[in-house]
Amino acid sequence: MHWIFLSPHFDDAVFSCGGLIYEQVQQGDQVEIWTICAGDLPEGQLSPFAEELHARWTTGRETISSRAAEDQLACSIVGAGIRRFAIPDCIYRNNADGTPLVSKNDDLFMPLASNQIELAEALANDLRFAILPDTTLVSPLGIGGHIDHRLTRYAAEKIGQPLWYYADFPYVLRQTPNFEGMSVVMEQKISPAGLSAWQNSVAAYKSQISTFWPDEAGMRSVLHQFCIEGGGSVLWQATNLPDSISGGL
C-alpha cells in the first residue's frame, strides 16, 4: 500500500504519526511525507516575530536548511520518503496589504484570510497532479487551528479524492477535538520498537523541542504517555463534513 501523509511543517506528520508510520513501513507499505510549508526564506528583513522564533530555535538565516536536515534524519528513522513544496511557512507570508500575516503568537491560530484560501486552492491543484492513483492520502485534522494546518487540510479537501485524517500532536493534548462527522478507519497498534523510533524521530527536530516541551526528556515522557493511551495510532475518514473548514477548526 502507498501512503502520503501531508505535513504542514517539517515536523507535524512525524510528531503526530511517527509510530504509526514506522509500523506501516515495517509491514511493507510505502510511506511518503509531503511537507507543504517548506519554501525558502523571503528576501530582505524578516518580521520581528520570525526573528524571535529564529533566535529561540538558534537557526538564524539557516532555518530552512537546518530544519530540512532535521526532517531528513527524522523521516529516515521511521522509514518514510520525502517530498517538499515551496510555500513558505506562515511566519514568512504576508497579508494582501503587504503586512506580515503573523505578527504575534496568537496570529498563528487565525482563520484563513481570503488570500490564504487562494493559496490553498492553488496548492490543491498542485497536489491533484502530483498524487498517483492507488495512493491513500492522509491530512492533518487541523486540531488547534494553526494557519498552516488549516491551509493543508483545506487544500487536501479540495482535491476531490478519498481522504483520511490524523490528529495533530501535541495540539490534541491541549484542545478536545470534535470528531462529529468522522469515523475511525484504521487503528494501528504501536510496538515498543515503534514507540522508540517515534521518540527518536521527534528528538531529531532539535530546534523545535523548546516550542512544546521543557527538554528532550520531557518530550519522551509525554510521547510515551500519549502512545500508551492510544494516541497517534488512529486515522479517521469523514462521513459528513461542512463544505469549508477555513475558519471552523
Please give the mean pLDDT across all residues of the chain: 94
Hey, CA dihedral for 107, 113, 115, 120, is it positive or negative?
Answer: positive
- For 12, residues 6+ apart whose C-beta sits below 8 A from its C-beta are 140, 149, 168
**Position 174: which residue type?**
R
Reading the block at residue 48, the C-alpha cell is 520581528
DSSP element (H, E) containing 128: helix 114-130
Q: How far is CA 109 from the centre of its chain?
A: 14
What pLDDT, on the 0 to 100 scale, is given for residue 240? Answer: 66
DSSP per-residue string spanning 209-241: HHHH-SSHHHHHHHHHHHHHTTTT-EEEEESS-
Q: Using the 8-state DSSP alphabet, how is residue 35 labeled?
A: E
CA 91, 131, 29 angle in degrees (round to 5)? Answer: 100
Mean pLDDT, rounded, for 235-240: 88
Query: Which residue, among 185, 120, 136, 124, has the nearest Cα to 160 in the 3D structure?
Result: 124
Question: Which H/E stretch holds residue 170?
Answer: none
Which pTM does this prediction carry? 0.95
Q: Is a pLDDT exceeding 90 seen at residue 243?
A: no
What residue ranges define each of the domains in the chain, with the CATH number in brackets?
Answer: 2-238 (3.40.50.10320)
Comparing 60-64, 114-118, 190-194, the range with the smallest average pLDDT is 60-64
Give the confidence band of 241 by pLDDT, cuts at 50, 70, 90: low
pLDDT digits (tens, 9 = 90+) for 151-181: 999 999 999 989 999 999 999 999 888 888 8
Position 41 pLDDT exceeds 70: yes
Q: Packing angle between helix 63-78 and helix 12-26, nearest 10 degrees? A: 30
